[in-house]
Structure 1
Amino acid sequence: MKIFRLLPCLVLLCCACSRHDDAAVRALARRIIPDHEKEFRFERMADSADGPDCFELESRDGKIVIRGNNSNSIAVGLNHYLKNYCLTTVSWLACNPVEMPDVLPQIDGKVRIEARTQERFFLNYCTFGYTMPWWQWKDWERFIDWMALNGVTMPLAITGQEAVWQRVWTRLGLTDEEIRTYFTGPAHLPWHRMSNLDYWQGPLPQEWIDHQAKLQKKIVARERELDMKPVLPAFAGHVPQELKRLYPDATITRVSRWGGFADQYRCSFLDPQDPLFDEIQKAYLEEQTRMFGTDHIYGADPFNEIDAPSWDPGTLAGMAERLYGSIAAADPEATWLQMGWLFYADPTHWTQENIRAFLRAVPQDRLLMLDYFCEFTEIWKQTEKFYGQPYLWCYLGNFGGNTMLTGNFRSVSERIEDAFANGGQNLKGLGSTLEGFGVNQFMYEFVLDKAWDSGLDDDAWIDRLADRRTGFRNEAARSAWRTICDSICTISSRTGHSTLTNAHPCLTGNWHWTTKPDVGYDFPTLWRAWQQLLSVESPRNTYRYDVVNVGRQVLGDYFLRERDRFTAAYTARDTVALAHSGIRMREILADLDRLVACHPEFSLGEWIAQAREFGRKPEEKDYYETNARTLISVWGDSKELSDYANRTWAGMVSTYYAERWELFIERVTEAVKAGQEFDQEAFDRESRTFEYRWADAAYPLTLPEAGDAVATARELADKYAPLFDAEP
């Protein structure tokens, strides 16, 4: 009888426990650490609703207890435990495993950490082209988990908007052919959305539009489950030129040309003061809210890398006022989110007078600015803290998805601390505006960690980073990572940042602005860091990635030295030295391709396979592949953006970059043997023909097979050691 009397109490106790358990974070843990998920308790705090975001950790009753004021904070607490106790890194890419210890470490006492800022932003329009265009839900699911674990509260969420626009433009009278032709191919859609580019590689297939709409519903639902506020787009004035046929009196103008594209790809802009503007805004926001809901934060960027119709400050103020007014009329709770990149990119036109007029035309606190490239230029310091409007300090860190080991670690830390101290009360948070995921995940985790008062100084953070990359404390690994953070990652990312391997070949320099091999260190320093990493024994996938990534940079940097020797031999007309350097250049490229083939993050084959998955018929698969190849090679229809999205990927090195360098070596050698000057212009034309052939899916590719990362890296380090050790 006593047992039966106890049952109601046990039921009530179980119910009380389940009410405390955070279902969203439990589901996250089940996805990333399924073997350990039941060893955690995830609790909501009852008394922290009005305070800063915070989390607590403790060991209790055989469980790891993580509590926080919301799901997002609890997820950050889980990640704090994974990183600092389990020495585990959760990758933002689904291809990487989450590697855990067999036994969960205990926590001594109770740990409590509070946020230094309530808002943490992530993503960039460009990321949706350079990294995400071919993602399926499994990719998004891991990435959203990564954002929650790193405390992101405001993710940019622009997937699927073409489905919304298709409905709006149809309602306004455009035909299906006009609408889908107006859209670009999938990988180029970010620049269509930013009013830079229309029609390129269109028409956009209907299956793509439908797929992305379904995907967006999953994306925003999961982000909201984890207490994020997705930033959805609003209408910023970009319209199809064909709309002029239906509305001949509308104030529609062609914007300035962009990216070297031919005139036929220019965008059209509807003046915000035209009555049609409010009608389109209302239709768009109502349809988008019906499909995807709203958190009342809208991204709108009317003049990104294009000229405004007028540079008169009064006109700019009127446009800003009307643009915000059109959003607020559709959603009275709206906040407008605006990139600050335009102020950095065009300082000639965006004078302080024009910036002030534009920003102050919007009601106070209804405009949120992203200070876009703070590791290089802080606009908040040039604009009296954005003239009082709220803003977020953002780290960009990567252009075009370039695979370059960069990120000015120490100065980023100093600038963030300076912003917290002197950025004013209208500094609302931190964020990142990366164009592509590239190779430097640790820098983004570092920036987002700065949003929390973790108690770790930068030196301790570096040591903990080294520990979790190997899975244990190791002095050689720590020393290597200190070198990377202190002596290698010393300059900010550049547009088109790459080793010379990825550049269009030439005898001196780097030919074009889209491939910049600048580094802030001497070669022997990088070589020693790689040697230190290779002296460690670790089974971790993160360690294998690191030895490939650092080795990729070592071989890429050394290629520049060999090219310069090749040029010196050309100048001296020394055919023996020329042949020797040519052989060595070919060898470095072949070895580089073999090394990066050892990790899936450096895979052209994966990029192409993901693109082809969107097609059902062979011709559809070829369409997506051509679009995917184009973006990472020639980019568009002129040399202007060629190689901007360069990547040192297995298969791309061997079939694209190495082929260009092979042609270059042959033509230079022929010129020397014939007693002639090398004709760079003739070579450029020949190479350009090859580049456009490669960008088409019809061009055959032979992709390398993956080898053992550590064994391959050590083999190559031993092979090149006599050369590398001799470098001054």
Structure 2
Amino acid sequence: MKKIFSVLLFLVVICQIRAEDTNITTMRKMTQRLFPQQASFFDFRLLNDTSTDTFTIKSEGNKIIISGNNANSMAVGLNHYLKNYCLTTISWYKDDPIELPKPLPNIPAEVTIKANVPTRFFLNYCTFGYSMTWWKWSDWEHFIDWMALNGINMPLAITGQEAIWYKVWSKLGLTDEEIRGYFTGPAHLPWHRMCNLDGWQSPLPKEWLSSQAELQEQIVAREREFNMQPVLPAFAGHVPAALKRVYPNIKTSRVSEWGGFADQYRCTFLNPMDSLYAIIQKEYLTEQTRLYGTNHIYGIDPFNEIDPPSWDADSLGMMAKHIYESVAAVDPKAIWLQMTWLFYADIKHWTTPRIKSYLRSVPQDKLILLDYFCEYTEIWKQTDSYFGQPYLWCYLGNFGGNSFLSGPVKLVSERLADALKNGGSNLKGVGSTLEGIDLNQFMYEFVLDKAWNSGQTDKEWFLKLADRRTGKVSPEARKAWEILAEKVYIQPAQVGQGTLTNARPCLKGNGHWTTKPTIEYQPKDLVEAWRLLLLVKDCQRDSYEFDLVNIGRQVLGNYFNVVRDEFTLAYEAGDIMMMKNRGDKMREILADLDKLVSCHPTFSLNKWITDARDMGHDAASKNYYEMNARSLITIWGDSYHLTDYANRSWAGLTNQYYSVRWDRFINEVIKAVEKKKAFDEEAFFNESRMYENEWVNPSNRINYNEGGDGIKLARQIYKKYAKEIIR
């Protein structure tokens, strides 16, 4: 018996060493990737207590000791040290520099911090279109590091699924033409995956399928090294219309119209009660698990912005029951992850009885709900905490990858604190469901930090944020960020948002719902924050330059709205001289805006286009990918309904797309008044539509005027505009 016990004890010790080695090795590799010159000054140790995610940080001699119950907790501990002692921000973009002080600061006293919640979720189907479409492994590798540093342990992982679907549909009898014609172009795949859109800019190239499958293998492997549980997709009912050719008796329905697309792009939904549903689910999950493994959590969103086959509450419940059972039959440990955007987006139809039937038809604790847009609407409060099913409180923060200052700091803090206190025992975590990776990174870090019991007040958090953006304690920077946190960042992101510079030109309003320039703060407060930041001396940090460019971009965008309104008043008065004056000022603002955003690579169209073209193997395929990339951020689809939804203030896009539209508009309005005629808005709309459709063609070359000193230029632009903006 003693011999057996000794052998068992030896095996336990060996397993612990291997687990320790895996976690510590993962962290050592991370520091080598992020800051190789300082990596040797960090040591990592494994804590024995695994009941709650925990990290400790302390100094020992010239070493920084970071301990945690796993690599994910250690990564959060590392980031806590970097942010609060080194005054360093790690950007989610791989090309942004990481600036550490020399020598590394000591930690006066050991710090121990535990997680408030076990689960921290990140990403949105749309992020894989608006931001990640053209990413390569180097982009993903750095981004996964960023997610680990911020404690993400449940990321959405939907890359590479088309390669699996190609095998499944082929096995079920569909042809290559039918399958690749069913997929959309790469940038639009998120909406294809959500059963919103079929066949747009198809066929999807075969090379795309294999390259994305290889990328997904790398993504999920690295995420698991950081103790993350990747959320993989499962079959949600979306099938090729051609499936009817092979199986004429299956129960399918064409989904409701979506996004203004023509009828030919509408999707087909297979009723979950049909016997073929479970067969498809088995084929898909078996192949996916073979390629990518599984953590038993599956994203399934069958009715996102589309109508189900029936609104009968019992029918909705039966469909949910059969969807879950089809997954559980393949993976008995399966948990269904469902975003609840549909309850917000179609509140008229998703009544309380229907929601309850749908949710309670899935076994208890086998369904996790993402409360998707909590800074605007908390569904958990409207559904008795989702009728007992587990849920996560999520901050959305961005639509379409828009370039806009948004994020209600105080509201987010209050609502999240309330949820953590009163959200019930079925509140299992927090997260973010951002549609695009935007210009407000700190807001997501602010939310994710609240998943940990750091003891920092919001005021202390923003003081530290000011310090790390400049790399030092600056009274001017601290005051600027106090203004930003308390007076500027007070509104949630809106569906369809952008400064008026990015909108289709018009005399009043913003021309289309996709470019709302509405701000709830006083423009003078933003200008004052910009002025204070500009007073910071002897600072050349990349993050500081980014902030000056980003805030200046918004200041100019806000001012453009004022000048356009003055142009319109002059038009209504028939004052041609004033129209020309204000028209020239609008052109001047656009030109200065483009110069400013040209100073920082984050604000450039260049990477988006270059990365898209890099996906191709010859001129034809490179042009295909570029056309697809251009389409998403401009015309979006085949009607004007979604035009400019993904607008962003990028160098190259500003001076060679938005500015051209505004220049034509100014000329046409002045010409109309000179001829003593009313401006023909309908004719201009049609001309603009023609121009926009032509612009997505890669034959229209884009010239980039990148580079320059963003700090110096921001000071020059402030000096040039300050008096007239503040007047």
Range into which the TM-score falls when normalised by the shorter chain: over 0.9
Aligned position for 2:544: 543
2:666 is the alignment partner of 1:665: yes
Which residue number in structure 1 is paired with residue 41 of structure 2?
A: 39
Deviations 1:307-366 (A, max 9, x none): 011000000000000000000001000000000000000011100010000000000000
Instruction: Give the Cα–Cα distance (whole angstroms) in 1 for the partners of residues 558 and 649 of structure 2.
Output: 12
TM-score when normalising by structure 1: 0.97
Aligned mates of 2:407, 2:18 — CA distance in 1: 47
CA–CA distance in structure 2, aligned partners of residues 295 and 20 of structure 1: 18
Query: Do the aligned residues in 2 keep the contact of 1:236 with 1:302 (CA within 8 Å)?
Result: yes
CA displacement, residues 64-106 of structure 1 (integer Å, 9 cap, x when unaligned)? 0000011100000000000000001001111101111111100
Where does 1:110-189 land on structure 2 (aligned, <5 Å)? 110-189=110-189
Q: Is 2:53 aligned against 1:53?
A: yes
Q: Does the CA contact (< 8 Å) of 1:20 and 1:42 recur in 2?
A: no
CA-to-partner distance for each residue in 1:246-300, whole Å, 9 max, x for gaps?
0001001110110000000000000000000000000000000000000000000
Equivalent residues of 2:20, 2:46 under 8 A apart: no
Alignment deviations for residues 151-204 of structure 1 (CA, whole Å, 9 cap, x no partner): 001000000000010110010011111111110000000000000000000100
Return the match for 1:24 from 23, 26, 40: 26
Cα distance in structure 2, aligned partners of 1:97 and 1:289: 37
Q: Structure 1 residue 18: deviation in Å?
A: 8.3
Return 695-704 or 655-664, whichever deviates more.
Answer: 695-704
Give me the whole-angstrom Cα distance separating, in 1, the residues matched to 2:18 and 2:184.
53
Distance 2:143 2:657 in 1: 30
Match of 2:10 in 1: none
Rounded Cα–Cα distance in structure 2 between residues aligned with 1:282 and 1:90: 41
Q: CA RMSD in A?
A: 1.2
Are 2:608 and 1:607 aligned?
A: yes
- 1:89 paired with 2:108, answer no
Could you tell me which residue of structure 2 aligns to residue 709 of structure 1? 710
Tell me if the contact between 2:23 and 2:70 (Cα under 8 Å) persists in the aligned partners.
Answer: no
Query: In 2, Cα distance between the equivalents of 1:175 and 1:616?
Result: 24
Match of 1:639 in 2: 640
Query: Hey, what's the Cα distance between the residues in 2 that align with 1:471 and 1:312?
Result: 58
Shift of 1:605: 1.2
Whether contact under 8 Å (2:181, 2:204) holds in the other structure is yes
Q: CA deviation at 1:17?
A: 13
Going from structure 1 to structure 2, the CA distance change for 1:174 and 1:17 (only over 3 Å counts) comes to closer
Q: CA deviation at 1:705?
A: 2.3
Shift of 1:117: 0.2
Q: Would you say the 8 A contact 1:184–1:198 is kept in 2?
A: yes
Kindly report which structure 2 residues correspond to 1:230-241, keeping only aligned pairs within 5 A, or say none: 230-241=230-241
Q: 1:362 to 1:587 in 2, by over 3 A?
A: same
TM superposition shift of 1:21: 7.0
Which residue is 1:322 aligned to? 322
Give the distance between the partners of 2:675 and 2:607, measured in 1 at CA: 43
Give 1:433's aligned residue: 433
Kept in 1, the 8 Å contact 2:405–2:439? The answer is yes
Partner amino acid, structure 2, of 1:210: S
Moved beyond 3 Å, runs of 4+: 15-21
Measured in 2, the distance between the counterparts of 1:427 and 1:308 equals 27
Q: What is the aligned partner in structure 1 of residue 567 from structure 2?
A: 566
Alignment deviations for residues 638-688 of structure 1 (CA, whole Å, 9 cap, x no partner): 011000000000010001100000111011001110111111000000011
Asked if 1 retains the 8 angstrom alpha-carbon contact of 2:320 and 2:361, the reply is yes
Q: In the alignment, which residue of structure 1 is the partner of 2:220?
A: 220
1:19 CA displacement: 5.0
Please give the secondary structure, in 1, of the residue aligned with 2:596: helix
Aligned counterpart, 1:627: 628
* Residue identity opposite 2:677 in structure 1: Q
Determine the structure 2 residue equivalent to 1:344: 344
Residue 434 of structure 1 deviates from its aligned partner by: 0.1
Identity of aligned residues (%): 58
Report the counterpart of residue 477 of structure 2 in structure 1: 477
Q: Equivalent residue for 1:407?
A: 407
Q: For residue 498 of structure 1, what is the aligned residue in structure 2?
A: 498
Unmatched runs of 5 consecutive residues or more in structure 1: 1-11
Please state how far the C-alpha of 1:26 moved relative to its aligned partner: 1.0
Match of 1:691 in 2: 692
Distance 2:22 2:107 in 1: 21
Asked if the contact 1:466/1:478 (under 8 Å) is kept, the reply is yes
**Residues 311 and 384 of structure 1, relative CA distance in 2, 3 Å threshold:** same
Q: What SS is found at the alignment partner of 1:414?
A: helix
Show the counterpart of 1:258. 258
Q: CA, structure 1 residues 511+39, in 2 after alignment: closer, same or farther (shift >3 Å)?
A: same
Tell me, what secondary structure is at the counterpart of 1:394? strand
Question: How big is each residue's C-alpha offset from its partner over 1:583-610, in whole Å with a ceiling of 9 and x where there is no partner?
Answer: 0000000000000000000011111001
Aligned mates of 2:66, 2:20 — CA distance in 1? 14
CA distance in 1, matches of 2:115, 2:320: 33
Structure 1 CA distance for aligned equivalents of residues 283 and 187 of structure 2: 26
The one-letter amino acid paired with 2:587 is: R
Inter-partner Cα distance in structure 1 for 2:612 and 2:73: 35
Cα distance between partner residues in 1 of 2:534 and 2:605: 25
Assess if the C-alpha contact under 8 Å between 1:20 and 1:43 holds in 2: no
1:590 has 2:567 as partner = no
Return the letter of the residue paired with 1:625. Answer: E
| Secondary structure, counterpart of 2:505 in structure 1 | coil
Is the Cα–Cα contact under 8 Å of residues 23 and 71 in structure 2 kept in the other structure?
Answer: no
Q: CA 1:86–1:665 in structure 2 vs 1: closer, same or farther (change >3 Å)?
A: same
Kept in 2, the 8 Å contact 1:489–1:520? The answer is no
Query: Which residue matches 1:308?
Result: 308
Structure 1 counterpart SS, 2:329: helix
Unaligned runs of 5+ in 2: 1-13
Matched-pair contact (CA < 8 Å) for 1:371–1:391: yes
Structure 2 equivalent of residue 64 of structure 1: 64
Q: Is the 8 A contact 1:370 1:392 kept in 2?
A: yes
Aligned partner of 1:202 in structure 2 is: 202
- Contact kept, 8 Å, 1:395 with 1:447, in 2: the verdict is yes
Structure-2 change in CA distance of 1:702 and 1:62 (3 Å): closer
CA distance in structure 2 between the aligned counterparts of 1:603 and 1:336, rounded to whole angstroms: 38
Q: What code does the residue aligned with 2:239 have?
A: V
Cα distance in 2, alignment partners of residues 491 and 106 from structure 1? 38
Do the aligned residues in 2 keep the contact of 1:20 with 1:44 (CA within 8 Å)?
no
| Larger deviation, residues 29-38 vs 286-295 | 29-38
3-state SS, counterpart of residue 336 of structure 1: strand
Distance 1:91 1:356 in 2: 41
Q: Is the 8 A contact 1:369 1:392 kept in 2?
A: yes
Give the 3-state SS of the residue equivalent to 1:22 in structure 2. helix
Measure how far apart 1:467 and its partner are.
0.3
Contact 2:23–2:225 (CA<8 Å) still a contact in 1?
no
Which amino acid letter does the alignment assign opposite residue 101 of structure 1?
P
CA contact (8 A) 1:318 1:361 kept: yes
Q: How many aligned positions are there? A: 711
Post-superposition offset of 1:16: 11
1:371 aligns with 2:371: yes
Determine whether 1:246 maps to 2:246: yes
Give the residue type in structure 2 aligned to 1:657: Y
Distance 1:394 1:688 in 2: 37
Partners of 2:579 and 2:383 lie apart in 1 by: 54
Q: Deviations over 1:451-510 (max 9, x none)?
A: 000111000000000000000000100111111111111000001211100001110011
1:725, distance to aligned residue in structure 2 (A): 2.8
Q: CA deviation at 1:438?
A: 1.3
Partner of 2:5: none
1:524 aligns with 2:497: no
Alignment partners' CA distance in 1, 2:480 and 2:695: 38
Aligned partners of 2:158, 2:693: CA distance in 1, in Å?
A: 30
* Deviation for aligned residue 1:61: 3.4
